Amino acid sequence: MAGYNLKLSIIIPYFELKEYTDELLKALAPQVTPEVEIILVDDGSSVPFETDYKWCNVIRKENGGAGSARNVGIDKAKGDYITFIDADDLVPEYYIKEILKSIDDKAADIIDLSLRSFDGKHFNHLLKSDHDYLPFPSPSLRVFKRSYIGDIRFSEVKDAAEDEDFCRRCGYLINKDYKHASICKYMYFYRTEVPMSSVKRYRKGITRTKRIVYYFHHVTKDMGYLLEEFKKEDELNEVILMTKRCDIPELRRYCQLSEPHGTWAHEIRGEAYPHIQKIEVPLRTQLVIYRSDLYKIGGFMTFLLNFCRKMKDKYDITIVGKKCDNERLKQLLSLVRVDLSGSEIYADNLIMLSFLDELPSNVHAKKIIRMVHACKTRPEYKIPRDYNKLIFVSKTAQDSFNDKASNVIHNIIIPDEREHLLLVSATRFPAPDKGIIEDRMRILAKMLNDKGISFTWLNFADRPMENPPKNFHNAGVSYNIHGMIKKADYLVQLSDSECWSYSCLEALTYGTAVICTPFPSTKEMGIVDGVNAHIVPFDMDFDVKKLLDVPEFFYEYDNEEIRQQWIEILGNTEPLHDYDPTQMVEVEVLDGFNDMQLRRFLNKGERLLMTKERANEIRVTLGDSYIREI
C-alpha cells in the first residue's frame, strides 16, 4: 500500500484466539482499501499467528498484555486515524466504508461507534446523532484522529481496565471540547460467550489489576490524603470513587468519579454503602503442590517437606490437599501456605505428587507437572496424559514405565539435627508393593536375637506389625523421625523394590549406615556394600554378625544441582513473599457452628488452624463464646 495516503489504521491486539480472529479477518477482507492498513499484534501467543491475507501486517512480540500490544500498534500505525478491534469481536460488512465516509465528511477528532452484543441483550447502544456520546470508555468503540491521541499510550502495568485508564488520560469522557461525530449504525459486535475472556478474568479476580471502589457521601477538602492514595492505587488497579459531592476535583485524574450506584468490587473502602457486591479474589500463587491426603508417612511427605525447605526462597508455594491431620498441618504451615478448603487457586505451576491422584478441579495452572515416586510394580499402574512435564525421581522408576523421553530429577535430601535410636525403619504394614518386606524384617530380628546381639528396633508407621518379634517396637506415627535416623546405627530397608528410597538417602546424608536388600535403585542412589551399607540378599541368607561392623563414611548429595533442574522447569523468578506463618493460630471450637469458608460444620471440642484475621472475623460475627485461641 506504499504510495497511498493512509487514512485509517486498524489495530487488532491478539492472544490465543485464532478461531475468532480468522472470522474477524474474513469479515474485513472484502472491505480493505488502499487507504486502510490492518495491524495485528500477536502478544506472544503459544502458537504464532499466521494468515494468508497479505494486507494484514502481523507483528509478533513478547507477551505484555493488551495495553502493550495496542501501544506497539499505535507506534507502527501510519494512518491519520486509528481505531482498535478486539480479536474476539466482529464488525459488519460496511465497517470500513462507514468510517472512511465519516472521516471525509466530518473530519472529527473522535468518531463514536454504535454497538451491540451478539445476542442483543448484554449490550445494545444505537447512537442517534453526532451529539450523542457513548458512555463507555472502550477505545474499540471509537475512531481517533492520531493528533488527538498524541503521545498518550495505554498502561503496560495494568492487565485489565487499561481502556478506562487510557480514556481518563485522553479525557474524552470528561472534557467534551473536541470535534465529535457518531455513526448511527451498528458498527461493533461484542462476543459475550468467550470462555474466560479478559473481561471475565478481570471480574473473577484472576488478573493482577483489581477494582477498588470507594464510597463517601461527601469528599471534603480536608480529605486530601486520598490524592496520594488514589495515585498509588491507580498505577495497577482500577479506582472508582462514588460520591454525592467531591470538593477535590484533582482526584478525577486518578479515578472514575461517579454518582453512587450499584456495582461490584474486589475491594471496598470508605464509608458503608450496601449496593456494592464484593467479589472474593481467588488465591494466586507461583507453585501448587498437590497430594489428596497429606497425613501419610513415606517418600511423598519427605519430598514435600524437603522440597519446601529448599525451594521456598525461590517460589511462593501453596500445598493443596483434601485431608491432613493437625500435627502434619502444623509442620507444613511452618514452611508454606496450605489450603484444604477447595477454593479456587490460580498458579503458574502445579506439581502432582502422585500419578494416581486426579487433577484437582479447583486449581487452575499454566503448567502441570506430574511426578512418579514409584516403580511400575503393578500392571494397572498407568500415568495420566494430562501433564506438560513428567518427572521420575529415579532412572529405575523411569525404566520400569519404559519412558525414555521424560525427566529424571532425584529427590532433595536435607540432613536434620535430631535425636535417634539404634535400628530405625519406616515401613507400613501391609506393604504389597514392597514384596515380602515384613517376612524379611521378622527374619532379621530373629537372626539378631538368636545370635544374642543386643538391639532395639523402632518402626514408624501408621499401621503396626502384628505380634512383633522381641526387641522390635511399633513406634506409631511420628513426623520427626530424622533425629532418630541420625543417631541410629542403621536404617533398615528390606524391600523387593524401591523407586527412590527417601529413608535410605536421609540416613546416608546423616552418616548413618543402611541395611538393605539389593533393589535396583541402590546403585543410582550411591548405596555401596561395605562402604556405607550392608546389602543383604533377598533370601536373607547371610552372617548377621557382620552387622556389628558399622561402616563409617562420608556421603555427599548435590541438592543444588537438583534445585537448578527444578528452576529450569518452573522458571527463574522471585517469590511474592505474601505468606506469613506467624499469622496462623490454633483455635478450639467452644460451640459448634457452620463455617462458610471451610464449607462444613465445626464440632465442639474440635481444634484447627486458621489465620488470625479469620479468628477475629468469627469472634466479631458470632461472639467470643464460639472459639478460643490455644
Claim to verify: residue 433 and residue 516 sit in the same structural domain: yes
Q: What is the pLDDT of residue 1?
A: 41
Q: What is the pLDDT of residue 420?
A: 42
> Final residue of a domain: which of 260, 278, 296?
278
Claim to verify: residue 288 and residue 251 sit in the same structural domain: no
Residue 47, in any domain of the structure: yes
> Final residue of a domain: which of 165, 194, 223?
194
Claim to verify: residue 449 and residue 402 sit in the same structural domain: no
Q: What is the pLDDT of residue 318?
A: 96
Claim to verify: residue 459 and residue 538 sit in the same structural domain: yes
d(CA 91, CA 504): 66
Task: Find the CATH number of the domain harbouring 45.
Answer: 3.90.550.10
Residue 302, in any domain of the structure: yes
Residue 573, in any domain of the structure: no
Claim to verify: residue 59 and residue 141 sit in the same structural domain: yes
Q: What is the pLDDT of residue 416?
A: 56
Residue 138, in any domain of the structure: yes
Claim to verify: residue 141 and residue 268 sit in the same structural domain: no
The number of folded domains in the chain is 5
Low-confidence ranges of the chain (pLDDT < 50): 1-4, 417-420
Q: What is the pLDDT of residue 64?
A: 92
Q: What is the pLDDT of residue 383?
A: 94
Q: What is the pLDDT of residue 295?
A: 75
Over residues 497-519, the pLDDT tens digits come to 899 898 999 999 999 999 999 99
d(CA 470, CA 490): 18
Claim to verify: residue 28 and residue 143 sit in the same structural domain: yes
d(CA 170, CA 328): 56
One DSSP character per residue, 44-79 reads S-SS----S-TTEEEEEE----HHHHHHHHHHH--S
Task: Find the CATH number of the domain harbouring 250.
Answer: 3.30.160
Task: Find the CATH number of the domain harbouring 492.
Answer: 3.40.50.2000
Beta bridge partners of 10: 38, 83
Claim to verify: residue 585 and residue 540 sit in the same structural domain: no
Beta bridge partners of 609: 586
Residue 495, in any domain of the structure: yes
Beta bridge partners of 41: 13, 59
Residue 376, in any domain of the structure: yes
Residue 530, in any domain of the structure: yes
Claim to verify: residue 230 and residue 344 sit in the same structural domain: no
- Sheet of strand 363-372, all strands in order from the earlier edge strand to the far edge: 337-339, 317-320, 283-290, 345-352, 363-372, 389-392, 407-408
Claim to verify: residue 592 and residue 525 sit in the same structural domain: no
Claim to verify: residue 139 and residue 235 sit in the same structural domain: no
Residue 148 domain boundaries: 8-194
d(CA 433, CA 436): 9
Residue 205, in any domain of the structure: no
Q: What is the pLDDT of residue 176?
A: 83
Claim to verify: residue 116 and residue 181 sit in the same structural domain: yes
> Final residue of a domain: which of 384, 408, 432?
408
